[in-house]
Amino acid sequence: MKKYIVSLFLSFLCAMSVLAEPAATPAIDIAQTVIKIPLADDVTPEDAIDSMKLRANVLNFKLVAHQPLSKELEGMGIETTRMEIFQFCDPRIARRMVSYDINFAAYLPCRIAMVEDENQKVWLVMMNLDMFIGSANLPPDLEKDALKVRDSLAEIMQAGASGDL
């Protein structure tokens, strides 16, 4: 028993050291893990937000959270460009995904970020769900739901970027 505990403890320490040290080179380029769309030149951030909210409503997706991070930073006296996070969810699909595999909870709710770059260009950015859907080995009914989430979020982003109401 003592050997088992020592072995378990050494395994834990080894795992913690791997987590504590940054990787020498990234396994993948982070730009490959996201989808990024610029706002059309004639679309204001406020227009984009209104369009995303309306499109989400049409698609039966709920805006479950909004974090205006740039306002928080400004409140701390930190100069920043615009940065906001919008979290959308179809609660029924979320429940089915988490019931299938609790690890999906880490990816809920789905996020679309609005970020202004150093050139004052505003972008909508979200995780590339294809990377996860393809490797999740979902049963056909859940894969269909996951594709619906992906397609709905893409439609919400596109509506925001183009200002479509």
CATH of the domain at 132: 3.30.310.70
Does any domain span residue 64?
yes
Q: Beta-carbon neighbour count of residue 117 at 10 Å?
A: 11
- Do 111 and 85 meet the contact criterion of CB atoms below 8 Å apart? yes
Backbone angles phi, psi at 81, to 5 degrees: -85, 170
Judge whether residue 87 has pLDDT over 70: yes
95-130 pLDDT per residue, tens: 999 999 999 999 889 999 999 999 999 999 999 998
Q: Has residue 7 been placed in a domain? A: no
pLDDT at 19 over 60: no
**Whether pTM exceeds 0.75:** yes
pLDDT at 131: 84
Q: How many domains does the chain have?
A: 1
The mean pLDDT of 2-17, rounded to a whole number, is 41
> Considering the domain boundaries, does residue 38 fall inside one?
yes
Structural domain includes residue 99: yes
Asked, for residue 41, whether it belongs to a domain, the answer is: yes
Q: What share of the chain is helix, strand, coil (3-state, %, to 5)?
A: 55, 20, 30
Give domain status of residue 23, yes or no. Answer: no
Identity of residue 137 = N
**Is residue 18 very low, low, confident or very high in pLDDT (cuts 50, 70, 90)?**
very low
pLDDT digits (tens, 9 = 90+) for 29-78: 888 889 999 999 999 999 999 999 999 999 999 999 999 999 999 999 99
Domain contains 125: yes
| pLDDT for the residue 7 | 43
Residue 64 belongs to domain spanning: 29-162
Least confident span in 19-23, 84-88, 131-135, 155-159: 19-23
Please report whether residue 75 resides in a domain: yes
